[in-house]
């Protein structure tokens, strides 16, 4: 639970993927247990039933978009809460068994998203190689290690774990690609506000009309709450029925965001609170912060001033 | 001040106008002193300097519209607060000295607004009479009493006070015409919410653009606060610069209205709070309530539910 | 009718008021007939029945606000159309019979709005004089000419017409006060767009709720149409029922404004079109333009570009 | 091109998937050539370079959500246009070589989305079978046909093509699941309006703020245009930058939608028109229409009335 530091971690496996790499940026995870799960549902269920304290799962990728299964599983079943986000640069490498050279590579194993992201590099450096789809970046590395395929597109950690030689690194076409992961726990009070927090929500709209989503956005806009992310997912009932996943600037403990949440509760068929947590901070070595906090129309100072003014009015001081 | 029941009342004179009639519907005024003022500014200034505890002034008429001088004087100078509204049916009578009959009337004294409101009746019953403009309903009655003119259009109280015979009553073309008056005091805490209250505001908008007024209305709409009245008045600086006078459903002590007020404070150049007070209640003899409270999109119960939900979220209960 | 230049003019009298002064700024009126009317309804009815081609009536004053009777009479009865606006600086003078000096003045005749606007000057220069309310600026000048009162606050044209000496000019407290007049004709096609036009509308809203006015403003805002003026007037049915008088930037022939009008027609209970006409142009001698055209979010060029793009889409060119 | 009926079709392969099944509901495709493509990019590029006249690709699934690669490829590269939508019930079957019975099945090949959608059925009927991820529904059927795995979750057409026995049909947990496909051609004029059309758009927003998306929705809402679908996709530049894919009721040739498109062009950084085409019509055998056309606030009749009214105003008829 939030409050008790987690010691038993589960992550989307297999070993050697970006999820493991992301988990190892958390110092508590370095000292705790780290168990790979075969799927996002398995990882989240491990937390739900108490087999793990926290699960590290992917939320979205700046190229591939939202990870639908994570969003869907967060809102189906017992409530869970995001307590932390980790944003990891996606750096693909071309790994192969020691001694392999580029000109001898005829087959490359890759997860379809990985080969899509490296299409430019492959066209230039391996125009004649056959790219074979496999089911994960970890599986790609493993298949190169066994010699099933000549090379693999994988994460640096995957190459290291399979003892592959790195023939080329940073081979993705978008150099700034990142994946955003969430650390998810069982519910409890959110950590304290840090001044630069995000709040994640899932909102359900009763009617499939433009006005309903408009109302949701107005509740936020009127309070000066900015969205950093909006994703729609089908609810599964029918085409045209969506649940919207929103990430907003601010913390559930803030006046401003609290007011907006109350407003959403009133206009939406349902609102699921998915956590308030600090925005990911970039260290110098990890490069530039890719998304700055969006500036808001109204400073928190203005908000505090307006609250004080209202208190004066209520006390009869209208000067 | 609100809290201390007022005993010294001032009202827009002269004696025998609708304002005096409205004041006498307040029982405290029946037992206190009642002094006519020559103008709205004089009445309000008497309260500001402490010569009176409360002033009774007209706010608007369902035919003639807002009483501009009252609105302007409420926001210029020291703050004042509306503590009560009185809505009075406007019933014009034709008064004349005893013995006068309709067929002998050649001249009728009337305030221009009064003769406008009785235009139909005059055309039918006194088609050949000359209507002479005078400066108030009270002055009209007085001029008929002295014989300067043959008859007067005036309030029932004006006819009584000048001992005029009432040759015809309810002569206004709109039978449902009403005038709304405000009882105004020096600032203090508003009276307690009654469950059916109004709040009066004056809001200043920095820019003369459609978007600025749109923002004001959104702050209200998003909280489900309804407007029962909106009036624009020039600020006096230039054409196109306005202050808007708003009457909203609700009380400054309500969560919902408090939130809307805080929002207005953030988007407006200035907001002047002019009081929260009970909506006028109609007695059986005064006829039907002409305007019902507008229903709101969200009940207060829903609002309380949303507030409780937010408190649960903050405590970590997201089930 | 628009198209045929008017030759028979009527204006709100009596002679010697600001309305006559405004009319004489129109060259056609200098050469045509100019008849004073006793009231705004009389002036407008003269046009409706064909006794005059055009009526010059006041719309609003930067200090006193809207002229309610003009707004009400424009929307009651047969439709009329504004074909021109005239904005006139309001310059009050103190007029008196020749030989009068300030120190001998004991009584000053003034329309209540005039004395209100000159309150500061009177307090400084004639602190002991009694101000007597009269029914028009023209009547004030006339009463000083007959010697009934010692002096009058009136328009320059009123002093000239009554051959009064001007003891002091520009005595209003707000030096920039202006009155805006409309020249009103029977309906017909509006004059051609000039690139800097205004369009006047009266819109009726079915329900007395904040959302209804919000919808009106959105129809304008979404098209980048700015309001230069918004006035609410009671419809006379009950308190809380309003008709809104809007002045918008643009001409009925413009794409942008046409689209907004069509939108208003769809969301309002009723829309009355009151004319498209050139914005008043200030000459050098009349001083500074008090209100500049509000800049719009989207230039007309952008609008034309979007129209051309839509035409290309419809033709199948989506490059 | 729209206008010329396509004869050379390409679809997302391999053979035996739902895409082939969808394509065969089009009579022109029954008579033309049908070539499977290895990927969505390959299918769309075949149309772009002229190797095919039309491509059939999946847009979204009512369970799995948007097919990101289709959306991304539609807006990257040369413009393409949707000319038709096909909505197909997703009916998974369990196929196996003749003679196989349920109690002998130890391994089941399935695409991960397929096994997710049949999780309930698998848990009940094959609780002990190992589910093996494969890369497509067609590959699953093929692997069961070769005996690599004991059974496959696949489309009815896939079982038929691989001559598998169907051990169980309609095994998906959501009985109403559908997949929506688009038939995509090179640009040209859209087909004529049918009275029940959809228009697909991709809109780019300059700033990542709540207000920008709010503006987009307002442009639609103000014209009474309903959204039947909204999907966000990352633009690939950074987290938090999105392109929104919108499906709206209406046709580019409609007044109402044309006006909304023009408005979007003015407020968005970019708008890509992706086609106007008839809404999918359900035949009796295919079951109930899962999503009805959302009713709009304003009928097309009202819209035509408002257009006629505007024309009258412009001609000078304001009665």
Same domain, yes or no: A183 and A204: no
Percentage above 90 pLDDT, chain C: 51
Which positions ≥6 away from A83 have C-beta within 8 Å?
A2, A54, A183, A184, A185, A190, A191, A275, A277
Same domain, yes or no: B57 and B119: no
Stretch 280-309 of chain B: residues touching chain C, C-beta under 8 Å: 290-291, 294
Is C208 in contact with B231 (Cβ distance < 8 A)?
Answer: no
Give B278's strand partners.
Answer: B197
Is B79 in contact with A307 (Cβ distance < 8 A)?
Answer: no
Q: What is the CATH number of the domain that holds C242?
A: 3.30.70.260
Q: How far is D312 from chain A (nearest CA, A)?
A: 31
Same domain, yes or no: C163 and C218: no
Residue C210 has pLDDT above 80, yes or no: no
Give B86's strand partners.
Answer: B181
Of these ranges, A58-62, A183-187, B223-227, the one predicted with the greatest mean pLDDT is A183-187
**How do residues C84-139 score in pLDDT, each as one tens digit?**
999 999 899 999 999 999 999 999 999 888 888 898 899 999 999 999 888 888 99
The chains in contact with chain B, meaning 3 or more Cβ pairs closer than 8 Å, are A, C
The answer to whether C250 touches C197, Cβ cutoff 8 Å, is yes
- Read off the pLDDT of each residue in B215-227 and give the average, rounded to a whole number: 88
Write the Ramachandran bin of D80: left for phi over 0, alpha for psi from -120 to 50, otherwise beta: beta
Is B62 in contact with C236 (Cβ distance < 8 A)?
Answer: yes
Stretch 49-68 of chain A: residues touching chain D, C-beta under 8 Å: 60-66, 68
pLDDT at residue A287 in the model = 44
Is B263 in contact with A309 (Cβ distance < 8 A)?
Answer: no
Q: Which of D87, D176, D210 sits opposite A225 (nearest CB)?
A: D210
pLDDT at residue B233 in the model = 86
Give A249's strand partners.
Answer: A198
**How do residues C283-315 score in pLDDT, each as one tens digit?**
544 444 444 344 444 577 787 888 888 888 888
Least confident of A183-187, C129-133, D193-197, D228-232: D228-232
Q: Is residue D307 part of a domain?
A: no
Stretch 173-202 of chain A: residues touching chain D, C-beta under 8 Å: 174, 176-178, 180
Signed CA dihedral, D19, D22, D26, D32: sign only: positive
Question: A241 — contact with chain B (CB < 8 Å)?
Answer: no
Best C45, C206, C240, C250 member to test B by mutation, with max B CBs in 10 Å, is C240
Question: C81 — contact with chain D (CB < 8 Å)?
Answer: yes
B258-274 as b/e, with b when 16 or more CB fall inside 10 Å? bbbbbbbbbbbeebbbb
Residue B19 has pLDDT above 70, yes or no: yes
Is A309 in contact with B265 (Cβ distance < 8 A)?
Answer: yes
pLDDT at residue B5 in the model = 80
The answer to whether A296 touches A220, Cβ cutoff 8 Å, is no
Same domain, yes or no: D237 and D146: no
> Counting Cβ atoms within 10 Å, is residue C49 exposed (0-12), middle (13-18) or buried (19+)?
exposed
List the single residue in D with minimal CA-CA distance to C81.
Answer: D318
Q: Is residue A308 part of a domain?
A: no
Residue A87 has pLDDT above 90, yes or no: yes
Is A316 in contact with B190 (Cβ distance < 8 A)?
Answer: yes
Of these ranges, B200-214, C142-156, C231-245, D235-249, the one predicted with the greatest mean pLDDT is C142-156
Same domain, yes or no: D130 and D241: no
Q: Is residue A64 part of a domain?
A: yes
Kindly list the residues from chain B whose CB atom is less than 8 angstroms away from the CB atom of residue A190: 314, 316
Q: Is residue B243 part of a domain?
A: yes
The pTM for the full model equals 0.82
Separation of alpha carbons A182 and A179, rounded Å: 10
Separation of alpha carbons C170 and C87, rounded Å: 17
Q: How confident is the model at residue D305 (pLDDT cuts 50, 70, 90)?
A: confident
Q: Which domain holds residue B154?
A: 93-169
Kindly list the residues from chain C whose CB atom is less than 8 angstroms away from the CB atom of residue B87: 239
Same domain, yes or no: A65 and A147: no
In 3-state terms, what secondary structure has residue C66? Answer: strand
Q: Is residue C312 part of a domain?
A: no
List the single residue in C with minimal CA-CA distance to D193.
Answer: C314
Name the maximum alpha-carbon separation found in chain C: 84
Give D230's strand partners.
Answer: D246
Give A46's strand partners.
Answer: none
Kindly list the residues from chain D whose CB atom is less than 8 angstroms away from the CB atom of residue A120: none
Cis peptide upstream of residue B21 (ω within 30 degrees of 0): no
Q: How far are the Cα atoms of A14, A248, C226, C302, D57 from residue C297, in angstroms, in the given order?
A: 53, 27, 9, 10, 40
pLDDT at residue D283 in the model = 53
Q: How confident is the model at residue A109 (pLDDT cuts 50, 70, 90)?
A: very high
* Average predicted confidence (pLDDT) for chain A: 87
* Number of residues written out for chain D: 319
Q: What is the CATH number of the domain that holds D61?
A: 3.40.190.10
DSSP A189: P
Which H, E and C letters describe A72-138, residue by residue? HHHHCCCCCEEEEEEEEECCCEEEECCCCCHHHCCEEEECHHHHHHCHHHHHHHCCCCEEEECCCHH
List the single residue in D with minimal CA-CA distance to A73.
Answer: D116
Least confident of A163-177, B3-17, B254-268, D298-312: D298-312
Q: How far is A65 from chain D (nearest CA, A)?
A: 6
Q: How far are the Cα atoms of B73, B219, B308, D66 from residue C270, in angstroms, in the given order?
A: 34, 26, 43, 43
Same domain, yes or no: C19 and C99: no
Residue D170 has pLDDT above 70, yes or no: yes
Same domain, yes or no: B253 and B204: yes
**How do residues B129-158 score in pLDDT, each as one tens digit?**
999 888 888 999 999 999 999 999 999 999
Kindly list the residues from chain A whose CB atom is less than 8 angstroms away from the CB atom of residue D242: 230
In 3-state terms, what secondary structure has residue C120? Answer: helix
The values of phi and psi at residue C45, to 5°, are -65, -30
Is D316 in contact with C223 (Cβ distance < 8 A)?
Answer: no
Separation of alpha carbons D54 and D80, rounded Å: 10
Kindly list the residues from chain D whose CB atom is less than 8 angstroms away from the CB atom of residue A226: 208-210
* Average predicted confidence (pLDDT) for chain D: 87
**How do residues C2-22 score in pLDDT, each as one tens digit?**
557 789 999 998 888 889 999
Residue C1 has pLDDT above 50, yes or no: no
Is C231 in contact with B230 (Cβ distance < 8 A)?
Answer: no
Residue B289 has pLDDT above 60, yes or no: no
DSSP A40: H
Q: Is residue A32 part of a domain?
A: yes
Is D316 in contact with C263 (Cβ distance < 8 A)?
Answer: no
Q: Which two tokens stand for residue C187?
A: 């309906």
Q: How many CB atoms lie under 10 A from the CB of residue B34?
A: 18
Same domain, yes or no: C205 and C99: no
The answer to whether A12 touches A34, Cβ cutoff 8 Å, is no
β-pairing verdict for B130-133 and B107-110:
parallel
Q: Is residue D75 part of a domain?
A: yes
Question: B123 — contact with chain C (CB < 8 Å)?
Answer: no
Is B214 in contact with C211 (Cβ distance < 8 A)?
Answer: no
Q: Which of D189, D218, D272 sits opposite C315 (nearest CB)?
A: D189
pLDDT at residue B67 in the model = 87
Between residues A289 and B139, the one the model is more confident about: B139
Number of domains forming the structure of chain C: 3
The chains in contact with chain A, meaning 3 or more Cβ pairs closer than 8 Å, are B, D
Q: How confident is the model at residue D240 (pLDDT cuts 50, 70, 90)?
A: low
Question: D206 — contact with chain C (CB < 8 Å)?
Answer: no
Chains A and D touch, contact meaning at least 3 pairs of CB atoms under 8 angstroms apart: yes
Residue B57 has pLDDT above 60, yes or no: yes
Question: A267 — contact with chain D (CB < 8 Å)?
Answer: no
Best C199, C239, C296 member to test B by mutation, with max B CBs in 10 Å, is C239
Segments of chain D assigned E as strands: 8-12, 33-37, 54-61, 65-66, 81-89, 93-96, 107-110, 130-133, 151-154, 165-168, 178-185, 197-204, 227-234, 242-249, 270-278
Question: B319 — contact with chain A (CB < 8 Å)?
Answer: yes
Residue D292 has pLDDT above 50, yes or no: no
Residue D285 has pLDDT above 50, yes or no: no
Question: C234 — contact with chain B (CB < 8 Å)?
Answer: yes
Percentage above 90 pLDDT, chain A: 51
Same domain, yes or no: A276 and A199: yes
Is D314 in contact with C223 (Cβ distance < 8 A)?
Answer: no
Percentage above 70 pLDDT, chain D: 91
The answer to whether C143 touches C109, Cβ cutoff 8 Å, is yes
Separation of alpha carbons C303 and C305, rounded Å: 5
List the single residue in A with minimal CA-CA distance to D239.
Answer: A62
Q: How confident is the model at residue C180 (pLDDT cuts 50, 70, 90)?
A: very high
Q: Is residue D32 part of a domain?
A: yes
List the single residue in B with minimal CA-CA distance to A258.
Answer: B310
Residue B185 has pLDDT above 50, yes or no: yes
List the single residue in D with minimal CA-CA distance to C273.
Answer: D318
Same domain, yes or no: A248 and A270: yes
Separation of alpha carbons D183 and D194, rounded Å: 17
Kindly list the residues from chain C whose CB atom is less than 8 angstroms away from the CB atom of residue D261: 310, 313
**How do residues D28-73 score in pLDDT, each as one tens digit?**
999 999 999 988 989 999 999 999 999 999 998 888 788 888 999 9
Q: How far is A160 from chain B (nearest CA, A)?
A: 40
In the listed set D188, D219, D251, which residue is the last one of a domain according to the structure? D188
Same domain, yes or no: B72 and B182: yes
Is B310 in contact with A258 (Cβ distance < 8 A)?
Answer: yes
Question: B240 — contact with chain C (CB < 8 Å)?
Answer: yes
Residue B74 has pLDDT above 80, yes or no: yes
Work out the angle at residue D90's Cα, subtended by the Cα atoms of residues D88 and D91, and round it to the nearest 5 degrees. 125
Q: In what order do the strands lie in the sheet with A107-110?
A: A130-133, A107-110, A151-154, A93-96, A165-169
């Amino acid at each position: 639970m939030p409050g008790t530091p987690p010691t038993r971690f589960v992550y989307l496996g297999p070993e050697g993927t970006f999820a493991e790499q992301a988990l190892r940026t958390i110092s508590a995870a370095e000292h705790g247990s780290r168990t790979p799960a075969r799927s996002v549902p398995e990882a989240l269920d491990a937390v739900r039933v108490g087999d793990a304290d926290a699960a590290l799962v992917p939320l979205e990728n700046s190229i591939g978009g939202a990870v639908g299964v994570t969003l869907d599983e967060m809102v189906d079943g017992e409530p869970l809460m995001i307590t932390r986000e980790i944003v990891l640069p996606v750096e693909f490498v071309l790994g192969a068994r020691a001694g392999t050279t580029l000109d001898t590579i005829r087959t490359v194993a890759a997860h379809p998203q990985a080969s899509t992201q490296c299409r430019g590099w492959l066209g230039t450096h391996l125009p004649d190689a056959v790219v074979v789809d496999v089911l994960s970046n970890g599986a790609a590395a493993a298949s190169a290690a066994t010699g099933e395929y000549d090379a693999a597109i994988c994460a640096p950690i995957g190459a290291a774990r399979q003892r592959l030689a790195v023939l080329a690194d940073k081979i993705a076409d978008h150099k700034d690609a990142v994946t955003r992961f969430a650390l998810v726990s069982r519910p409890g009070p959110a950590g304290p506000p840090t001044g630069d927090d995000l709040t994640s929500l899932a909102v359900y709209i009763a009617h499939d009309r433009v006005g309903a989503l408009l109302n949701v956005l107005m509740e936020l806009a009127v309070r000066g709450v900015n969205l950093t992310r909006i994703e729609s997912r089908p609810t599964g009932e029918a085409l045209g029925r969506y649940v919207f996943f929103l990430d907003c600037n601010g913390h559930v403990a803030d006046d401003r965001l609290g007011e907006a949440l109350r407003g959403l509760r009133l206009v939406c068929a349902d609102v699921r609170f998915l956590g308030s947590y600090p925005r990911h901070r970039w260290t110098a070595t990890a490069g530039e912060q890719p998304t700055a906090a969006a500036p808001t129309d109204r400073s928190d100072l203005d908000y505090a001033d307006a609250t004080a003014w209202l208190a004066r009015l209520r006390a009869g001081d209208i000067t």
